[in-house]
Structure 1
Amino acid sequence: MKEAKHHPYHLVSPSPWPAIGSMSAFLLVIGTILFIRQHSAIVLFAGASLFLVTLIGWWRDVIREAKSEHTPEVRHGFRYGMALFIASEVMFFGAFFWAYFNASLAPTEAMGNVWPPKGVHTLDPFDLPYLNTLLLLLSGTTITWAHHSLLEGDYEDMKQKLLFTIFLGFAFLGVQMYEYAHASFAFKGGIYPSTFYMATGFHGFHVFVGAVFLVVCYFRTRLGHFTPDDHFGFEAAAWYWHFVDVVWLFLFISIYWWGSAS
């Protein structure tokens, strides 16, 4: 028999998803290495497939728990957890900014004692990077609008603004891929390309994760999972999206704008 709870907190049941997710991540890494070395893509495909199954299964379980187990105290704890997660992401990107400024503020003789290093033709900050800045800033507006619509109980308007935000996120990724394909420097071209691609590339990955997060929120909205008083899943996605926006502003100012003019 299920024991009666004497506290308002939710203790999760044993789940296979952490172990399966770890295995899928291992297969993804090994499969990517094998694929880059021109071996079969079977391991990469297996890892990606297992990862997708993990996401679907884990999200399904969390959504089921949210309907019955997520008390106000639990949701309060989630907010602290999401805030701490975003703080850890700030530290993650802080490492890339540290590497970039360490190289740019004190260029070595190997770089020609100048920044950007000799032979590096930087991207025009007011071309595609500026377009992407506008796309992300606009997406921050639409996600805020969607949140306001949810608080007002206007679910149709919320779904519409969510779709706008998702479209803008994937448009950003499309522009970034085009930019990478036409950049004049490769990842192995030295300190400038490596810091550039690591910082902007990981940001692009975060945009993709955030867009997937919003896609899940869109379908949950269609299924009626969110109410004006209970919508932490969407709130967490909005926080994450705003974080991604802010990081991009720092990337645009420091790497694209200041870096090209210094």
Structure 2
Amino acid sequence: MAVETAGRVATRHRHYPTLVVAPTVSRADYQYRLRNNRLGLWLFILSDSFVFGGLLVTRFYLLGGHRPHLDQVLGLIVTSVLLASSFFMNRAETLISNGDRRGFLSSTLITMLLGIAFLVGVIGFEWRLAPFGPGDGAQGAVFYMMTGMHAFHVLSGVAFLGIVYRNGRKGCYSAERHWAVEACANYWHFVDVVWIFFYPALYLIGTVAG
């Protein structure tokens, strides 16, 4: 669902020219559609937050004061990578707002690469290094549910970034009209904020489960 939503937002300029450079469309009409798009995005993020909130509740319900036995160094690394990606995503949005297309493209690309690095760290390393599997008790179920759902959203965000980057190279965004970039940035920051809650819940809070 997240992939589909991201794709719709990034490609909507095909149906609503006001989302890109379209001087023939009135500013009032553009602002009206922009308000509706923003409302739709925030409603989506709000509904998605309940899913992640439910996972956090499940984590503490099943594990209580314990936490999974995980690689602390790797957890810190992937968290730092994701936080860095949020910085570059914010930079990309700021640069396109100032009309700096080249800087916007480079920051978007860096964000996308950092997102991929995060996925490699979690799925390629943390999942393989974890001393338990998805079916090995409560800690396995909790860990793979939380990181799996979050990784899916990061992957959706990377796909969204790819579409935004491609459209940016085609000159689809301007300083005045770059809704898809704004939507991508808000979605990406949301995914980062979720991990800020997930990281201590999985890696820091409680004693290691036996």
- Alpha-carbon shift at residue 60 of structure 1 (Å): 8.8
- Alpha-carbon shift at residue 211 of structure 1 (Å): 0.7
Rounded to whole Å, the distance in 2 between the matches of 1:180 and 1:60 is: 31
Unaligned ranges ≥5, structure 2? 19-24
Confirm or deny: 8 A CA contact 1:146 1:159 kept in the other structure: yes
Cα 1:140–1:60 shift into 2, 3 Å:
closer
Please tell me the root mean square deviation across aligned C-alpha atoms, in Å.
Answer: 2.4
Confirm or deny: 8 A CA contact 2:9 2:180 kept in the other structure: no
- Alpha-carbon shift at residue 229 of structure 1 (Å): 1.2
Which residue of structure 2 aligns with residue 150 of structure 1?
Answer: 96
Rounded to whole Å, the distance in 2 between the matches of 1:203 and 1:85 is: 15
Q: 1:101 aligns with which of 46, 53, 60?
A: 60
The aligned length equals 197
Does 2:12 correspond to 1:62? yes
Rounded to whole Å, the distance in 2 between the matches of 1:123 and 1:59 is: 36
Cα 1:208–1:195 shift into 2, 3 Å:
same
TM-score (norm 1): 0.70
User: What is the correspondence of 1:4-83 to structure 2 with a 5 Å cutoff?
Assistant: 62-68=12-18, 71-83=30-42
Which residue of structure 2 aligns with residue 115 of structure 1?
Answer: 66
- Alpha-carbon shift at residue 180 of structure 1 (Å): 0.4
Greater RCO (Cα-Cα under 8 Å, separation 6 or more)? 2
Which residue of structure 1 aligns with residue 21 of structure 2?
Answer: none
Rounded to whole Å, the distance in 2 between the matches of 1:128 and 1:256 is: 10
TM-score (norm 2): 0.86
SS of corresponding position for 1:71: helix
Rounded to whole Å, the distance in 2 between the matches of 1:184 and 1:145 is: 38
Confirm or deny: 8 A CA contact 1:123 1:260 kept in the other structure: no
- Alpha-carbon shift at residue 143 of structure 1 (Å): 0.6
Rounded to whole Å, the distance in 1 between the matches of 2:53 and 2:76 is: 22
Which residue of structure 1 aligns with residue 114 of structure 2?
Answer: 168
Confirm or deny: 8 A CA contact 2:10 2:164 kept in the other structure: no
- Structure 2 counterpart of 1:150, one-letter code: I
Cα 1:60–1:99 shift into 2, 3 Å:
closer
SS of corresponding position for 1:185: coil
Unaligned ranges ≥5, structure 1? 1-20, 22-50, 106-113
Which residue of structure 1 aligns with residue 77 of structure 2?
Answer: 131
Cα 1:215–1:61 shift into 2, 3 Å:
closer
Give 1 or 2 for the bigger CA radius of gyration.
1
Confirm or deny: 8 A CA contact 2:66 2:208 kept in the other structure: no
